[in-house]
């Protein structure tokens, strides 16, 4: 099976390298070609547009930045839909809106091909190690066809429902993380101001009912002044905005998540720290 892959950022690079290691033929495209150097050296083939990727592939994976980038990659003149052929599967692994996932699926259906939304969690390390969690929306038989390829990139792959439900599962995940990140940040700030030993506190929190992945993993990085992105704050802000606008469309008000969005907005758009990891939130208080 020939695989197409659009988006050779930090995530895409790890995922493509795992596909290459599993002996798949992979044709790639990226807006900035130099970011594809690593995978091209490892055996991926270059195409000059998403259209050309689609023409050369049976299954096309996309993982780009924002919903507008997804739209461009699928719908522009040189986009994926301009290069499709029968029996194809399109898999968008960008964290994007449930609505756009449904729109892409509808277009694909009208053209007689299949589409899945399959956003991931697990960060750059999960992408590199092939241990991503992949949350899928789409038809069951399309899911089964794509699963052997997804299994090369992730170790927990779940079909959550129809098209868009992969994105919704990812949103529920990000809303949870909004809680652990804001809680961790304010807990550490309080403890620091009170003069507590923060290593001691992090260690204690690990063993009790306040325990969470963010404190265990990001707490020590913050104490070492390590704000490099596992996951860039600008992308988390995007995710929170998709979650909140989708919630609003469903008639749901999420005040704690709104507060998290305000804080990350301040970090990204006022303090211009969007390229730091999400743990950099502590810098804006």
| Residue 238 Cα to chain centre, angstroms | 11
Residue 6 CA from chain centroid, whole number: 14
Structure tokens at 108: 């694909």
Please choose, out of 35-43, 56-64, 183-191, 234-242, the segment that lies near a second copy by the rule CB under 8 A: 183-191
Residue whose C-alpha is closest to residue 134's, from 88, 105, 167, 106: 167
Among 10, 82, 247, 282, binds a second copy (CB under 8 A): 247
Write out the catalytic residue numbers. Answer: 170
Interface with a second copy (CB under 8 A), residue total 71
Site for a second copy in 200-219 (CB under 8 A): 200-201, 204-205, 207-215, 217
Closer to a second copy by Cβ: residue 83 or 122 = 122
Crossing angle for the helix pair 10-21 and 140-153, nearest 10 degrees? Answer: 90
Q: Is 98 in the site for a second copy (CB under 8 A)?
A: yes
CB closer to a second copy out of 9 and 164: 164
Residue 190 near a second copy by CB under 8 A: yes
Binders in 103-162 for a second copy, by CB under 8 A: 121-123, 133, 135, 156, 158, 160-161
User: Does residue number 163 form part of the binding site for a second copy (CB under 8 A)?
Assistant: no
Distance in Å, CB of 7 to a second copy, minimum: 21
Q: What is the distance between the alpha carbons of residues 76 and 79, in angstroms, rounded to a whole number? A: 5
Contact map string, positions 32 to 71, toward a second copy, x by CB under 8 A = ----------------------------------------
Q: How far apart are CA 259 and CA 43, in angstroms?
A: 45
Facing residues of 157 across strands? 134
Q: Rounded to whole angstroms, how far apart are CA atoms 50 and 33?
A: 13
CB of 120 to a second copy, least distance (A): 10
Name residues contacting a second copy, limited to 223-242 (CB under 8 A). 231
Q: How far is CA 260 from CA 246, 264, 278, in A?
A: 16, 6, 11
Query: What b/e sequence results for 97-113 when a residue is b if at least 16 CB atoms lie within 10 Å of its CB, and e otherwise?
Result: bbebbbbbbebbeeeeb
Our CB check for a second copy shows the closer of 86 and 207 to be 207
């Amino acid at each position: 099976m020939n695989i197409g892959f659009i988006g050779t950022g930090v995530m895409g690079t790890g995922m493509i390298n795992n596909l290459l290691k599993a002996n798949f033929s992979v044709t790639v495209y990226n807006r900035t070609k130099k970011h594809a150097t690593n995978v091209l050296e490892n055996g991926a083939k270059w195409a000059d547009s998403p259209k050309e990727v689609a023409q050369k592939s049976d299954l096309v994976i996309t993982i780009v930045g924002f919903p507008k980038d997804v739209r461009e990659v699928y719908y522009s003149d040189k986009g994926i839909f301009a290069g499709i052929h029968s029996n194809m599967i399109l898999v968008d692994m960008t964290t994007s809106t449930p609505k756009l996932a449904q729109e892409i699926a509808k277009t694909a259906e009208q053209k007689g091909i299949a589409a899945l939304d399959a956003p991931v969690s697990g960060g750059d390390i999960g992408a590199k190690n092939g241990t991503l969690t992949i949350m899928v929306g789409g038809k069951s038989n399309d899911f089964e066809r794509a699963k052997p390829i997804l299994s090369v990139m992730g170790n927990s792959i779940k079909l959550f429902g129809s098209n868009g439900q992969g994105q919704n599962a990812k949103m529920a995940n990000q809303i949870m993380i909004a809680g652990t990140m804001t809680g961790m940040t304010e807990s550490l700030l309080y403890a620091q101001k009170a003069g507590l030993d923060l290593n001691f506190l992090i260690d204690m929190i690990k063993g009790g009912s306040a325990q969470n992945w963010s404190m265990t993993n990001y707490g020590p990085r913050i104490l070492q002044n390590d704000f490099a992105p596992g996951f860039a704050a600008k992308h988390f802000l995007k995710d929170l905005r998709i979650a909140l606008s989708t919630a609003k469309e469903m008639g749901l008000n999420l005040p704690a998540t709104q507060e998290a969005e305000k804080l990350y907005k301040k970090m990204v758009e006022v303090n211009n720290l969007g390229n730091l990891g999400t743990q950099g939130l502590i810098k804006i208080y």
